[in-house]
Amino acid sequence: MAGKIDNPFLNKAGKDVLKENLGMPSASPDLIFRIMADAEQILAPKTWRVILWPFGPVWKPAAVLMASALIGIWVGFYATPEGGNMITDEIELMMVG
């Protein structure tokens, strides 16, 4: 809070004297310029892409999802249900125990 003095050793009169004598510090023009520049970026309308994925480029998670989907399709297409395949034996061992 602006103007609040938290010192347990001062009484109310002492705090009032300090507030009157010290005054409020003023911001430098450079600081005001940086705050206003950031405010324009923060208050700018956001696109759907930024709302759904605000963490950076979208191609990274999309590439991971595509790779995992392709691996799943490959395993599902080439794995035979009869057994004898190392991939299906390992999956069956994890599922059944």
pLDDT on residue 80: 63
DSSP state string for 23-72: ------HHHHHHHHHHHHHHHSPPPHHHHH-TTS-SHHHHHHHHHHHHHH
Q: Is residue 6's pLDDT more than 70?
A: no
CA atoms within 13 A on the CB side of 29: 0
pLDDT tens string 33-84: 888 888 877 787 888 888 888 888 889 889 999 999 999 888 887 766 665 6
Residue type, 61: P
d(CA 58, CA 43): 22
What average pLDDT does the chain have?
A: 78
pLDDT at 15 over 90: no
According to the model, what pLDDT value does residue 9 have? 63
